[in-house]
Structure 1
């Protein structure tokens, strides 16, 4: 039998598209006539606080976008930001739901995302029923690959680190999990994920 008892999932890149990456920013803000280099000059500094849940979406956009007069408001912008999220890997959803239905594992998120976008994505894509709890940078105020977010995940699980399996599309995030004693799968495709899970004795 598998020694895995908890499976932690990244969201952007494994299940869904990213929340607000540079391509999404270019589409949304470019379509609104925003000077993208001007916006990007402020994005990183403000995003440090937003993705860690230390500022709100409104504050983030006030600091990055509404420093100049605009022909649109935050209320006009936010639905466009949310609309950028989409299902990226339907096969990953099938695996996620199969593992949930099996009842053999606890499942949790372990992702970097602002609080507001994370809440939107969990609701819009009906993800909440698939997970037992949520470890999100916007909730715990620290981001992957910092060791503290993995430490929080293990401690909240109440189970040993070696019984946790983490799925993420970024190698550095997987390496950080392994350094804390967790197992990890670097995600490439849903087919590869199914095979890699089987290698750990997890049938999906």
Structure 2
């Protein structure tokens, strides 16, 4: 395979983001916290913001259903920056090496709210190293849907057979494979480096 293009997911690969950084303190009781994430601010609810729903609407929907959780619901995005653990430095270094090699075009394909992504852009210089990026909240479509992968290829004139996709989310990695992209399911920076070296990309 002649790889000319590398596509990175962001959260969990290049950037550490975890609501636990806020909610382990805000809801110290483990069972209550588990209930909150499984029944109130669920993964599915968060993905609607990744797909373009506004934070205002998202909060209103949940507060109407669960008024007793109002403070916690509002904290999810109100304290969003506190959920950022910072760059995953070892992966950023891999990104730097790939970029500086001059051999590859580099793109980002991320599920991320259009309202919070500008904050990440201001915080992390390496997000400006990409040759292009697609943010789900801006495009109002997201992974794992194939049209989001196709939009990336079309917008940046990427040849599918020359592209490598990196994502930590198993569902999204499998969707990329089904779409026809060569894919690395990211589990750690060391594992990613090994995979890239094995493919003679690094």
TM-score over 0.5 for the pair? yes
Distance 2:71 2:181 in 1: 49
Q: Which one has a larger percent helix, Structure 1 or Structure 2?
A: 2
Structure 1's 42 and 78: CA in aligned 2 closer, same or farther, altered over 3 A? closer
Equivalent residue number for residue 57 of structure 1:
55
TM-score when scaled to structure 2?
0.80
- Larger CA deviation: 157-166 vs 119-128: 119-128
Unaligned runs of 5+ in 2: none
Aligned-partner SS, 1:142: coil
Equivalent residue number for residue 159 of structure 1:
158
The answer on 1:99 being equivalent to 2:98 is yes
Do 2:106 and 2:130's aligned partners in 1 also have CA atoms closer than 8 Å?
A: yes
Structure 1's 98 and 60: CA in aligned 2 closer, same or farther, altered over 3 A? same
Aligned-partner SS, 1:43: coil
Do 1:113 and 1:136's aligned partners in 2 also have CA atoms closer than 8 Å?
A: yes
Do 2:112 and 2:135's aligned partners in 1 also have CA atoms closer than 8 Å?
A: yes
Q: CA deviation at 1:9?
A: 0.6
Q: CA deviation at 1:77?
A: 7.1
Aligned residues: 195
Structure 1's 79 and 38: CA in aligned 2 closer, same or farther, altered over 3 A? closer
Distance 1:167 1:12 in 2: 11
Distance 1:65 1:139 in 2: 25
The answer on 1:30 being equivalent to 2:27 is yes
Distance 1:9 1:28 in 2: 31
Structure 1's 52 and 156: CA in aligned 2 closer, same or farther, altered over 3 A? same
